[in-house]
Structure 1
Amino acid sequence: MDSYSSWLNSFLVRFRLSANLFLSQFEPLALLLAPLLTLFIARLLHSLLSVIHEKGLKATVLALFMSSIKLVPGVQSYIDAEKQKVVDKLQSGSKSKREHWRTELPTTGLGVGVIEEMKDVKSNDADWKGKCSGTVYIGGSESEGHFSLINEASSMFAHTNPLHLDVFQSVARFEAEVVAMTADLLGSKEKASGGQVCGNMTSGGTESILLAVKTSRDYMKAKKGITRPEMIIAESAHSAYDKAAQYFNIKLRRVPVNKEFKADVKAIRKQINRKTILIVGSAPGYPHGIIDPIEELGKLADSYGICLHVDLCLGGFVLPFARKLGYPILPFDFTVRGVTSISADVHKYGLAPKGTSVVLYRNHDIRKHQFVAVTEWSGGLYVSPTIAGSRPGGVIAGAWAAMMSLGQQGYLENTRKIMEVSKMIQKGIKEIPELFIIGNPDMTIVAFGSAVLDIFEVNDIMSGKGWHLNALQRPNSIHICVTLQHVPVVDAFLQDLREAVQTVKENPGPISGGLAPIYGAAGKMPDRGMVQDLLVNYMDGTC
């Protein structure tokens, strides 16, 4: 033992002498800066590799190139000027309309006369009856029928706030029953669900998705100790997941859809790692109305012990009834093992007032991570279930009234109508040789493009005819989300679409005031950061 200790001591002495002799040829300042410089370069390389891993080599090189170009004198100012031209084009006319908007309270209140002024302002709204993709889901006129019913129900409880459970017990009951009835539609009473499905009402699909993501993040942190969370979505998944990723500091991995425009399960599996907290499926996806393979995603989530959220914001009040009508709808709800949360909008096909959605969880252990409890506030003990503290009880009451007034038979009949109209539109589009349908729509959203015409020019012509359709990208296309408003006007829509296609075919090129050049350019622009800047500048000048 003594000999080993002596040898080790001798080795350390020789090593120190050799090291000192080698380092003596360098300046002391160089010896001090070398490790700092090495550390700096190492961190720089790590950051670069992280960006390449996240965005890809092509996007990273392009971003670096564009950043370098902008350093050239005059280039940045030129780019900013061109971007402003595009923003002004997108806002065309809106600035002039805002010139007469009020910027301060009237000196003397208008009293009941304000209603007449509101009617006058409202008269300038676009004609939405039967002309909008989605937007208004209730059929008929806003002054009668189901519109009148939910308006009366909402106004009856306009003063209420479910934050005060001890005061407004009626609204608390309405919310609980809306959640329970929605859960029932989505498999809560089936044995496979586990019998503990629970949830809350929210202000819309985006808040429902935000809460589901936040809850999944915190649940997986408690379950697996994940502190740098990641989630994986298909590129067809709603943009609310991007918002959630930014709000809750979650890395977002986006994968392409497969040839059928469904979430690619194999591609998602390749992206899963020890930081993954959540994968997502849509039923259906907003762009093309196609249902992702929820069962396969459920098996994937279950095998890795991660969360699976199913976005049923569009399908929640259609797919359960479409299945009863005999449409070939594959499992999509809590009967699928691995599904941990679901979002479903009541204010879409549930025909409730705007501002009503439901977020559901498989069990209470998961949902508890949605809540925020505050114990150290001088205002008292506080706990809140959703993002908003105070919430409008009127729309909750309106949602309850909508569901109770329609019942299962009402929703079944509505589903029959809109599914039939959707099939009629698909058939009509297939009969137009210049157009093709994107994928095979499962529900009431029909997306279509063209290999021979600029589809955005077609959209501009349709806009000129009063239609409000949605422009899509990857591939360039437009879609219509069928509602009860379209039942009486389906023939007019197809006729206008045939005429629009013929017009573009005979006179290709953008029309005056049309947005086709902007949409087309944005889709082809390789610098996506610039497109993002355009959107932010547009929003900043609009709201």
Structure 2
Amino acid sequence: MPASTSSRPGNANAGPPSLVSLALSQALTVDNARTLIFYVVLYKYTLRLWRHIRSFGVTASIHQVYVEISRRLFLLLMKIPAINRKVTRELDAATKELEDKIAPRITTLSSNPTLPEYGRDRDWLMTALEDALQKDGQMIWKGGKISGAVYHGGQEMSDLLGDTIKMFMVSNPLHPDVFPGVRRMEAEVVSMVLRLYNAPETGAGTMTSGGTESILMACKAAREWGYRTKGITRPEIVLSRSAHAAFHKAGEYFKIKIIEVDVDRITRKVRIASMRRAINSNTVMVVGSAPSFGEGIIDDIDSIALLAKRSKILCHVDCCLGSFLMPFLEKAGLPSAPFDFRIDGVTSISCDTHKYGFAPKGSSIVMYRTGELRRHQYYVQPGWTGGVYASPSIAGSRPGALVAGTWAALMSMGDDGYTESCKEIVGAARKIEKGIRDEIHQLRIMGRPMVSVVSFCSAGSVNIYEVGDKMSAKGWHLSGLATEPPAIHIACTKLTVPVVDEFLKDLKAAVKEAKTRGPPGSMVQLYGLGSSSAGPALVGEIASRFLDTLYLVR
């Protein structure tokens, strides 16, 4: 019987390998594998480089490289002992000024770095609290000279909120079965705001601790949406340079790449063409402001939402500052612009109830077009040994007193109350804007503000930060802006309404005084660092030292 000719391994009579198997064995050599890996890596980084240049442009990309090289060079120079000692001395001097300003030694107040051996009685506590209250800048904000920060609804509202908070002091929405009244009030607040922003029937939202958390939640939801629906593992969000810093905070917390695009130098709105170029297959969301915090400008939300819809991505509108002004502009007979869920393509909005809603501090709403989108911000841990853990936002336990206070504020004001407050506050801002345009020609208004913020820069003959320092000397607390060109702004509140004429009078005087070029104040010193290559690193170090100072006990 003839021997078998089957081609098993080791069979000497096996026939020659097929052409396919021969080609495959040659293709799978180590050298070819290395070449394949090289081209894959090259493609990956070339694609990233192309996307970056497409988003930022060639000039901006080169500038970013220059800034990074300068930063690294500065860090190297800091290793030279003489330079390190000089810079450290200057930083220590700046820190001493911060400590004296932020945490001054107050001889009338006792220092309490440790628990008292025995509990203090009520009389002692009330005296200490009254002393602290007197040092808390009450006269500054009550006098209306502070930009934003205190969104006061009047003494009657403050009394109402105080009584409400006292009633619900121990309540916690984490336990809705124990505090059903707080659960109902929170649901009603979210519902009221959704309807105020013309959400569809599918709309949903949650309360948060403030605008920053609302923005963080919207970004976290966008990241999860991108991963679960598109498989995006390197998410990107495209926004304007004028967008709030909370988006960058979200980027760092949640590992999302933030792509900034420029604003138009005249309108101060985000450049839609630049935003369009910045969108790519990793983009999960685009952002518009209504209005922006710094310049008070409403972006072209219509066009931004259209970009999102065409690109099949999400669109967030930051209306934290616009809160209870934007929805009432038309009712108050004031100019407005499209901004809410009536725009097809807008998928989420943030609104601060603790600003112009006059709710207690620590209250904001994040809204979504659908409940399905809202679920992407939830955290659920079904396997915890303590039982199922689920929370709608970052916090677990939350102060039910703030929920009740927010509900009380909204119910107390009503539609008519908010319409009237919008008319007063925006009216004050328009009066300031007109006064600067018509009477202070050394300054120039940034864009065409529609809401409560008025930002202005130098028209060329005066240093705007010196103007800010002179206003500080007159008791005004304004915000310096690191924009191009540099600017300062005032965010009008109810407290600003009666002092508009005083503001314009002091601003005229400040402009005249700034021309004399006296010694630079804190605003000039801080923002002046921005022009140097080491500026961001130094400002960052000073900012960190400032945060350290907040916890200094003296």
TM-score normalised by structure 1 residue count: 0.87
| 2:311 maps to which of 282, 299, 304 | 304
- Letter in structure 1 aligned against 2:158: F
- Cα 1:151–1:78 change in 2 (3 A) is same
Instruction: Give the superposition deviation at 1:541.
Output: 2.9
Aligned to 1:326: 333
* 1:261-410 aligned within 5 A: 261-410=268-417
| 1:122 maps to which of 125, 130, 133 | 133
Q: After alignment, is 442-451 or 86-95 more displaced?
A: 86-95
Root-mean-square deviation over aligned CA pairs: 2.9
Aligned to 2:229: 223
- Cα 1:7–1:481 change in 2 (3 A) is closer
Aligned to 1:131: 145
Q: After alignment, is 427-436 or 407-416 more displaced?
A: 427-436
- 1:491 & 1:529 partners in 2: Cα distance? 40
Q: Deviations over 1:212-233 (max 9, x none)?
A: 1001100111110101111111
Aligned to 2:5: none
Q: After alignment, is 328-337 or 131-140 more displaced?
A: 131-140
SS of 1:261 mapped into structure 2:
coil
| 1:503 maps to which of 509, 513, 528 | 513
* 1:413-432 aligned within 5 A: 413-430=420-437, 431-432=439-440
8 Å CA contact 2:480–2:523 kept in 1: the answer is: no
- 2:46 & 2:225 partners in 1: Cα distance? 30
Alignment pair present for 1:522 and 2:529: yes
- Cα 1:52–1:91 change in 2 (3 A) is farther
SS of 2:247 mapped into structure 1:
helix
Q: Deviations over 1:389-441 (max 9, x none)?
A: 00001111011111101100000000111111111111121211211111111
8 Å CA contact 1:209–1:241 kept in 2: the answer is: yes
Alignment pair present for 1:80 and 2:122: no
Aligned to 1:59: 67
- 1:325 & 1:242 partners in 2: Cα distance? 34
Alignment pair present for 1:470 and 2:479: yes
- Letter in structure 2 aligned against 1:79: V
Aligned to 1:452: 461
| 1:487 maps to which of 484, 497, 507 | 497
- 2:280 & 2:50 partners in 1: Cα distance? 15
Q: Deviations over 1:449-505 (max 9, x none)?
A: 212112222222221222111111122211110000111111111111122222222
Q: Deviations over 1:166-194 (max 9, x none)?
A: 01111101101110101111012xxxx3x
- 2:347 & 2:338 partners in 1: Cα distance? 14
- 1:42 & 1:299 partners in 2: Cα distance? 34
Alignment pair present for 1:181 and 2:188: no
- Letter in structure 1 aligned against 2:475: G
8 Å CA contact 2:332–2:420 kept in 1: the answer is: no
- 1:49 & 1:420 partners in 2: Cα distance? 48
8 Å CA contact 2:161–2:408 kept in 1: the answer is: yes
| 2:181 maps to which of 165, 170, 175 | 170
Aligned to 1:534: 542
- Cα 1:116–1:95 change in 2 (3 A) is closer
8 Å CA contact 2:98–2:549 kept in 1: the answer is: no
SS of 2:207 mapped into structure 1:
strand
8 Å CA contact 2:71–2:533 kept in 1: the answer is: no
8 Å CA contact 2:526–2:539 kept in 1: the answer is: no
SS of 1:370 mapped into structure 2:
coil
8 Å CA contact 1:139–1:483 kept in 2: the answer is: no
Instruction: Give the superposition deviation at 1:3.
Output: 9.0
Q: After alignment, is 146-155 or 288-297 more displaced?
A: 146-155
- 1:67 & 1:503 partners in 2: Cα distance? 38
SS of 1:233 mapped into structure 2:
strand
Q: Structure 1 stretches of 5 or more lacking a match?
A: 20-33
Aligned to 1:27: none
8 Å CA contact 1:456–1:519 kept in 2: the answer is: no
Q: How many pairs align?
A: 509
- Letter in structure 2 aligned against 1:254: E
Aligned to 1:22: none
- 2:91 & 2:48 partners in 1: Cα distance? 28
- 1:417 & 1:162 partners in 2: Cα distance? 35
Instruction: Give the superposition deviation at 1:539.
Output: 1.7
Identity between Structure 1 and Structure 2 (%): 40
8 Å CA contact 1:525–1:531 kept in 2: the answer is: no
| 1:146 maps to which of 154, 157, 161 | 157
- 1:297 & 1:432 partners in 2: Cα distance? 35
Aligned to 1:23: none
TM-score normalised by structure 2 residue count: 0.85
Aligned to 2:10: none
Instruction: Give the superposition deviation at 1:271.
Output: 1.0
Aligned to 2:217: 211
- Cα 1:230–1:376 change in 2 (3 A) is same
- Cα 1:383–1:4 change in 2 (3 A) is closer
SS of 1:335 mapped into structure 2:
coil
- 1:302 & 1:283 partners in 2: Cα distance? 19
- 1:4 & 1:460 partners in 2: Cα distance? 86
- Letter in structure 2 aligned against 1:166: D
- 1:400 & 1:7 partners in 2: Cα distance? 75
- 2:519 & 2:156 partners in 1: Cα distance? 42
Q: After alignment, is 473-482 or 291-300 more displaced?
A: 473-482
- 1:500 & 1:291 partners in 2: Cα distance? 29
8 Å CA contact 2:290–2:319 kept in 1: the answer is: yes
- 1:316 & 1:95 partners in 2: Cα distance? 33
- Letter in structure 2 aligned against 1:133: S
